[in-house]
Every structure is written in C-alpha cells, then in structure tokens.
Amino acid sequence: MSKKQFFLALLASSCLGGLVVLIGMNVMTDGQMGINNNAGLSSTVTTSFNKIDESPKDYIVPEGINFIKASRAAVPAVVHITNTSKPSSGSRSWSKLLGRRGRVRQSTGSGVIISPDGYIATNYHVVEDADELEVRLDDNRRIEAELIGVDEDTDLALIKIKAAGDLDFVEFGDSDQVEIGEWVLAVGNPFDLNNTVTAGIVSAKARNINLISGQRNQYGIESFIQTDAVVNRGNSGGALVNLDGGLIGINTAIATNTGTFSGYSFAVPSILVKKVMDDLLEFGEVKRGLLGVQIMDADGRGTTELSGVLIRGVSPGGAADKAGIKDNDVIVGIDERPIRTTSELQEFVARKRPGDEILVQFKRDGLKKEANLTLKEKIELITRDPEEIKFTYKVEGATFAGLSDRLKYALRVEGGVQLLELGDGAWKKAGLKENFVITKVGDRDITDLEQFQSLLDSKKRDFYVMGKYPEGEKEYFKIDW
C-alpha cells in the first residue's frame, strides 16, 4: 500500500469514528431532555438510587470510632427544656415606662436525665429566671418540671419531673479518666432540633475561659473539658459522653464571635457535676469548701516555678492562713495529685465540702513543703466577730460598722462600711439588706466609719450609695433622705 492510500484509509476511519460518537451523543441527549427540564422546576435533588439495597450490612465499624453504642445510650436520656419567664407586675422596665405591655419570654436548652425517677442535670443559665419549666422527652411527652436547686458558681442546676415508669438515664462516667485526643459525643437540642448527636475529640482539659469567674463572680469555678464536637444554641445543658455512653460532662459554652459554633465547645466535667447534683439534692444548695487565698497560674512570672498555683494573697483567719501557707508560696499538689493550673486547683477543691481536710503540697523558695488544712465555708470568711466591732453609727434605723481586714480581703475592697442591723427608715425603704457593704456615697470613696458618718451628717438631700454584698453581688441604691 502506498503512503497516499494509507493516509486516505486513516482519514476514512477517523471520520467513521466521529460519526458514531455524534450519533451516540444525540441519542443520549434526546433520552435525558425530560429529566433536565423537570430538574429545573425543582429546588431539590434526589440522592437516592432507583433500587434500594436492603441487604444486611456486612461491614464492621472499628471499635475506636464506633459511635452507635454511645448514641443509643445517651439520646433517650437527653431532654429539651423550655423556660418561660413572665413579666413581673412590679417591673420597672423601659417597656413599662414607655407604656408598652410586658411580653412573655421563652428560651430553650437541653438537660440530661441522671436517675430513673426523673432528676435532670442542666445549666443554670438554661433555667435562670424561670416561672415555668417544661421538659420534652425523647418520645415527645411534655412534662412540667420542678426546680430543685441551682449553683451559679458552676453554672449548673437540678430539676425534677414526674413521669410514669422508670425513665432512661445516663450513668456518670469518670471525667478524670478522659484523655486529650479521646473521641466524645455531644447530644442536645441545637436550634430546637430534637436530640442531635455530634462527634469530636477532647482538645484540652481544665480550661478556663472567664465565662463564670472574674468580675461577675469571684467564686466562679471553671475547669472545662474542651472539645471540637459541634455545639450551638440549645445544646446548653446537654450531655457530653464517652464511647461507652458514660456522662463525662454537661455542655455549657462555645468559643465564638458569631453566636454559632466556631471550632471549640466546653463542658463542665462530670465529677464536679455529680458533686453539685448530690449537694443540691441533699441540701438544696452547694456546700463548698474554700482555701481562703487569691491565686494565679505560676508560669515563671513573679516566681521561678513554671507550673503550679502562685499564692497572691491569704485571707486572715482562713484555711490556708491557719495552715501556715503564705504569699508567694506555689501549690503543686493536693492529696498527692499534681496541680499545674488554677483551674485544676479550683475544680479539685470544689469537689470538697467545708470541714474536709486536705493535704497541700507547695513550694517555698524552691523547697517542697506540706501542710494539712481544713476547708472553710464561704460564710466563715465574711462573718463578723461581735468582739471585733468596737464602734458603730446609727442613722435612719440602720446600724453601720467599719470593715474587718478579713472582709476587705474577701470583697477585694480597700475601705467601706457594713450595714449590721436594719430597722424602719430610709435605708430599708431604699431596698438595702443587712450585711451590705457601702464603698461609695455619691462619687466619694468611703475609707472608714468616721469618714462615712461625717459625709452623711452633711447630706441635706437625696443621694446614691454603691457597694456589694459579701457574696460579691454589686448594687447601688437611691436614699431618700
């Protein structure tokens, strides 16, 4: 065959192949034209095959990432909580001043059934200011709930429902045994979506994000389990469980600039949750022992120690003071358990009750020491000994005294006066209660009782006073003189 014949044969073959392809494409387009047009009329796209494979699953999920067992254990025990708050008839809100009618406020969150007879753990901020609490179970039953008690220091609350038969509940796991990198599940009701399950890993432990503690609550305790399991509005109060389905935390907060999940969520560890729930059930309040110290992380600043808890102040007469602990000591252990951060120390002490004895390991000038101390109750740090009150000032039915060093330390104030006894008069009418500490009159700081008396003797008209209660709650009042 000549070269000319070869090229002619090759050209004919190419043309024939192209013709076959064009005919095939035309046939396929004609056959699919109706489907494309119909799809354009719909905003949804099906992802199903025409034939469903109903054969049994023949694959095995590896044990380390099998979330099915934990989901089956947790989902039936996680509830949806609706908090209804009604406007008070005596409210002096802006809406009422402007002539608007008060509105009923509703918010929602999650909770975890922790006993077959209907006790439910949740967050304090889920039930805060509630006039009515309704719980929706996983089977859609709706039941009114009773508030048993709250603990603002940990943002936890205990509520109770009455339902027929034993309820599904989640058993407590050991949050101390949780390890960074471990798989966990978050179960709750984000955006009111009933019982949603998300998975993630533990990113950190004993995390402090200044959500509860700080200026708002000097006794606030934060030692969160941090995870990257997706948590959003409505998840608060829900369960964080391990792969065995054990409760290892109550989901409480997210780190976000937008109000929605941005990568990290935070849960109160289960050992602390259980202690708070036990106290609320037994006493109606939390019994918490205190060291009586001001603290900060020992990270090389102000001390040569690179970890532990640096003592920055010791309350006179407090547990630490009586045990001989001093400023600049560094706590490195409690009961032989290593302590590296303030969050770890606060959580461990928060598990104890007043009167409990603990062994504190600390360093002083590089030398390791030990001391046994007995934890004290908060009220012991702020209670006045009548023998230490030498002078008082009575005006308009109220009796005032100067501040003790212990009270100054506890409230972190430099001066002021305390309302000891309250009778009829301008102070009672203004709404003050006994033990309130006045730190300002108008724009003048109060240093002591003598200055306070002199200042009030010169008052000829109404004025404002500012200060705080021993528990740390700040208030101000207008005194009609």
Exactly one of 71, 80, 107, 125 is catalytic; name it. 125
DSSP track, 401-447:
EEPPHHHHHHHT-S--EEEEEE-SSHHHHHT--TT-EEEEETTEEP-
Are 113 and 120 within 8 A, CB to CB?
yes
For tokens 């694959």, the residue is: 59
Decide if 125 is catalytic: yes
By C-alpha distance, which of 74, 378, 92, 115 is closest to 199? 74
Whole-angstrom CA distances from 269 to 254, 347, 361 are 15, 9, 24
Neighbours of 371 (CB within 10 A): 17
Beta bridge partners of 150: 157
Give the side-chain half-sphere CA count within 13 A for 281.
Answer: 15
Amino acid present at 269: P
Give the active site residue among 151, 153, 155, 321.
Answer: 155
Neighbour count for residue 316 (Cβ, 10 Å): 15
* Nearest residue to 412 (alpha-carbon basis) of 220, 151, 215, 222: 215
Is the distance from CB of 249 to CB of 229 less than 8 angstroms?
Answer: no
Cβ neighbours of residue 389 under 8 Å, at least 6 residues apart? 401, 420
Rg (CA), the chain: 32
User: Tokens in use for 154?
Assistant: 């940990």
Beta strands in 315-416 (DSSP E): 330-334, 337-338, 357-364, 367-374, 376-377, 392-395, 398-402
- Residue 249 CB: number of other CB atoms within 10 A? 29
Q: In the 8-state DSSP scheme, what is residue 176? A: G
CA-closest candidate to residue 250, choices 346, 81, 123, 118: 123
Residue 89: CB partners within 8 Å, gap ≥ 6? none
Q: Which of 70, 82, 77, 76 is nearest to 192 (CA)?
A: 82
Q: Which residues pair with residue 265 across a beta bridge?
A: 227, 254
Could you tell me how many residues make up the chain?
481
Distance of CA 103 to the CA centre of its chain: 27
Q: How far apart are the first and last CA of the chain?
A: 124
Q: Are 236 and 110 contacting, i.e. CB atoms less than 8 angstroms apart?
A: yes
Active site residue 151: no
Active site residue: 236, 270, 315, 343, which one? 236
Q: Annotated catalytic, 445?
A: no
Which residues are identified as catalytic? 125, 155, 236
